[in-house]
Structure 1
Amino acid sequence: MHVLVLNIRQIPGPQPSRIYKNVVPEMPRIRERAGKTYTYVIPRLDGTVILGGIRDPDISNTKVDLEVDKDIARRVNKTLPEHFSADPADYDIVGHNVGIRPYRSTGMRIEKEVKEGQNIVHAYGITGGGYIFGFGVAREAAGLVDEFLFPAGKARL
């Protein structure tokens, strides 16, 4: 994952006169396309916007790549040209995030096993879905730990 964090006040177009917490804006459209890369725009309450989207499972380099920034800006502009320039130089970039997301070609692994006498609970391979799936994965993993700790089941009083 590679993202640009922009100051929302630098984005062309109407600016909010006030910023309120817990406001859900109407999305006139959501676009989804299939392919190797994906693109997203996430406005944040602190006035910044995250532009992101690259998926390359064979790269483990965490250094910022300015060519990737340009590609993300170009793709965001292609999707929302009325709001975003294709040139990252047009924005006040306040940060970069480069994340390595563990993945498995066969999908998430959430299971328990006993190996060499050790009880092991596996919960990984979520890729970029950790934010979305995190609580469900944690609940499932906790249930598997409970199965190790309480093999006869928990007492219900």
Structure 2
Amino acid sequence: MSRSEYDAVVLGCGVLGLSIAHELKRKGLKVAVVGRELPEDVQSTGFASPWAGANWHSFAVNEAEERRDEFTFREFARLSKELPDLCERRPYFYYWSEEGRWQIPWYKDLVFGYRDLPPSEVPAPFKFGVTYEAYTLNTPLYLQHLASTLRALGVPIIRQRVSSLDEAYSLPSVGPVNLVINATGLGARTLLGVEDPLVHPAKGQTVLVRAPDVKECYGLVDLLSRPGQSSYIIPRPGPDSHVILGGCYLPNDWSTGPNPEVATLILQEAHKLCPRLDGKGGKGTWKDIDIISHNVGLRPVREGGLRCEVEERTTGQSRRDLLPKGGKVGGGRKVAVVHAYGIGPAGYQSSLGVAIEVGGLVDSWMKQGANGARAKL
């Protein structure tokens, strides 16, 4: 078997794959990133990353998730100072009318200036509210920033469809490697050698609008009558005055077309949260909102949450009858894969914390000299 100049292949060009590649490069590994979609494919529904809002609003339900989100939050503070067109700190406002709907979040003391709003600061028709400051991202630009900095560091980002995990250890464009990072998102459901039945999509739908007067994030805490529907407003950093209006969360819905009824409800509810969206100082209606596009993305959800672990394996032993030719090269090799998929709607706000965690797993595996890997870290 010819020797490769690379130590690892990262499968997946979403925000997790690119963030992990950065962390491994920082640790001194030579890595290549491989994906069916590239970071520039911002119109593709084949991966979720281009379609996210995205704001830092933690959904963490355990200590591991809190740790990932907190690390990312603190890194966003640095990013907002260095690249304000990609990441910006701004006020958040959450409103509701049904008493008891809001639960004090674990991150109350992490964000800036968390406080309950007095009735005089809660706009009609709502009765309660909270505010604090956190970060929002311009997701398409952030993806391209991650990609361009990787390329500048000599990390190739290769467009290639990989249908089996075994193929990734012997890609002609990379050469043989003993380590693969599986950041394939929804692809983990069908990737031969993984085929995780716990992975499923959760459809999200948003409306991208232009609203120069809206600089704050807003969210509705009350439930809406349509199942899976919610209401939130996320201004994107940068000079374009773009604002994301959402949204919905529809598990196991694979459709990638926007639903006009959902879009109408998104616009109506967003205008209630922030009438200034109409561009007329709140004196217009939701029909006056300046629409740029209707968007749909499929969140890569996994029952039980993110899978983040090392698996040692032997190539050529899983579904050999279905393996493409490339997956049969070097059969019987002792290798490893670090799985990092199933993040659901938390990709951006957890991404840098997940990358650190994956880096630690890789570090431990290589220090053990497992499977003949170079213990170079």
The TM-score, its normalising length taken from structure 1, stands at 0.72
Equivalent AA in structure 2 for residue 71 of structure 1? L
Residue 37 in 1 paired to residue 225 in 2? Answer: no
CA distance in 1, matches of 2:260, 2:345: 21
3-state SS of 1:112 partner: strand
- Structure 1 residues 128 and 8, CA, compared in 2 at 3 Å: closer, same or farther? same
Residue 69 in 1 paired to residue 272 in 2? Answer: no
> Offset of 1:34 from its aligned partner?
5.7
Partner of 1:104: 302
8 Å Cα contact 1:69/1:88 also seen in 2 = no
CA distance in 1, matches of 2:288, 2:223: 28
> Offset of 1:69 from its aligned partner?
0.8
- Structure 1 residues 4 and 26, CA, compared in 2 at 3 Å: closer, same or farther? closer
Partner of 2:350: 133
8 Å Cα contact 1:110/1:124 also seen in 2 = yes
CA distance in 2, matches of 1:7, 1:26: 14
- Structure 1 residues 149 and 87, CA, compared in 2 at 3 Å: closer, same or farther? farther
> Offset of 1:134 from its aligned partner?
0.5
8 Å Cα contact 1:41/1:51 also seen in 2 = yes
Match of 1:83 among 276, 280, 299: 276
Equivalent AA in structure 1 for residue 221 of structure 2? E
3-state SS of 1:106 partner: coil
Partner of 1:5: 208
CA distance in 1, matches of 2:304, 2:266: 27
Equivalent AA in structure 2 for residue 47 of structure 1? S
8 Å Cα contact 2:258/2:294 also seen in 1 = yes
> Offset of 1:97 from its aligned partner?
2.4
8 Å Cα contact 1:62/1:98 also seen in 2 = yes
3-state SS of 1:61 partner: coil
3-state SS of 2:249 partner: coil
8 Å Cα contact 2:301/2:343 also seen in 1 = yes
CA distance in 2, matches of 1:42, 1:30: 9
- Structure 1 residues 30 and 100, CA, compared in 2 at 3 Å: closer, same or farther? closer
Match of 1:51 among 230, 245, 253: 245
8 Å Cα contact 2:233/2:270 also seen in 1 = yes
- Structure 1 residues 111 and 87, CA, compared in 2 at 3 Å: closer, same or farther? farther
3-state SS of 1:64 partner: coil
CA distance in 2, matches of 1:119, 1:26: 44
3-state SS of 1:120 partner: strand
Equivalent AA in structure 1 for residue 230 of structure 2? Y
CA distance in 1, matches of 2:219, 2:295: 24
8 Å Cα contact 1:6/1:49 also seen in 2 = yes
8 Å Cα contact 1:121/1:141 also seen in 2 = yes
Which structure would you say has the larger Rg? 2
Match of 1:148 among 360, 365, 374: 365
CA deviations over 1:91-141 (Å, ceiling 9, x no partner)? 221123211111112111111111334311111111111110010011111
Match of 2:340 among 123, 128, 141: 123
CA distance in 2, matches of 1:95, 1:30: 21
3-state SS of 1:51 partner: strand
* Structure having the larger proportion of residues in strand: 2
Equivalent AA in structure 2 for residue 42 of structure 1? I
Structure 1, gaps ≥5 residues long: 10-14, 17-24
Equivalent AA in structure 1 for residue 267 of structure 2? A
Match of 1:92 among 290, 304, 307: 290
After superposition, the CA RMSD in angstroms is 2.9
> Offset of 1:79 from its aligned partner?
3.1
